[in-house]
Structure 1
Amino acid sequence: MPGAEKAAGALRTIGELAQEIGRPQHILRYWETRFPQLRPLTRAGNRRYYRPEDVALVRRIHDLLSNQGYTIRGVQKLLAAEKGNKAARAAAGTAATPTPRGKTDTQALKAVRDSLSKALDEDS
């Protein structure tokens, strides 16, 4: 049914997601090889179905690469650092705190850096 909007929690096909972000499907398949965090569901015939969290990650990767000037390697490092930060907080028994509204990406990254530095200091 063309033109019908999917519900927010609905699975998206690779074609739908590629069209939404304006990139070809092969780019999404390439990103799957570069970002281990991106793991869509695969069904018969290797059809990919992206969950809402996968869609959010693809949008973020697209934004970082297209709008913010990151390289693939830069995005890999950023995502790995965030994963490490979440793991450190989980190990410390603290909940993840969302970035306050109004903070710029630079401020958010500095907060992540400071949090990682503090975690390293506590480990020593």
Structure 2
Amino acid sequence: MSEKAQGAFLTISELAEALGLPQHILRYWETRFPQLRPLQRAGKRRYYRPDDVTLAKKIDRLLNQEGYTIKGVQKLLSERVPAPATPTASAPSGVPASPRADLLPELKRLRTHLADALAAA
């Protein structure tokens, strides 16, 4: 992807590439998340504003990294509740917690081990 100025609008292909997703996923998200509304110019060409890009990244993180469902993300966005910043934060009621939450103790142990190794180096 060519470098654009910060704050420049992105086309659907540029955003899809940045997120590592197919374009049809972004078009699907537009049908499920009314908050995600890129500008559409002649020929229905989509232009994602910086706020749209931020929202698309948030949706991607919640769905593909934190394990939320489409309905769970819809609920988070409609309530305008800030999404959990870490997998350790509890999910709002009715929204499933991350399926990876059971890995947290092991990850903390590894982090401590790596920090000790770095300090000894």
TM-score of the superposition, structure 2-length normalised?
Answer: 0.67
- 1:4: Cα distance to partner? 3.4
TM-score of the superposition, structure 1-length normalised?
Answer: 0.66
Partner of 2:65: 67
Partner of 1:25: 23
Q: For 1:31 and 1:12, locate their aligned partners in 2 and report how far apart those are by CA, in whole Å.
A: 16
Percent of residue pairs identical? 63
- 1:105: Cα distance to partner? 5.7
CA RMSD of aligned residues (A): 2.2
- 1:77: Cα distance to partner? 0.4
The structure richer in helix per residue is: 1
Partner of 1:94: none
3-state secondary structure, aligned to 2:18:
helix
Partner of 1:5: 3
State the aligned residue count: 91
Q: For 1:39 and 1:56, locate their aligned partners in 2 and report how far apart those are by CA, in whole Å.
A: 12
- 1:8: Cα distance to partner? 1.1
Q: For 1:36 and 1:76, locate their aligned partners in 2 and report how far apart those are by CA, in whole Å.
A: 9
- 1:10: Cα distance to partner? 0.1
Q: For 2:43 and 2:67, locate their aligned partners in 1 and report how far apart those are by CA, in whole Å.
A: 35
Structure with the greater alpha carbon radius of gyration? 2
Q: CA separation of 1:18/1:4 partners in 2, compared to 1, >3 Å: closer, same or farther?
A: closer
Q: For 2:17 and 2:67, locate their aligned partners in 1 and report how far apart those are by CA, in whole Å.
A: 21
Runs (4+) of structure 1 moved beyond 6 Å?
A: none
Runs of 5+ consecutive residues of structure 2 not aligned to the other structure: 93-121
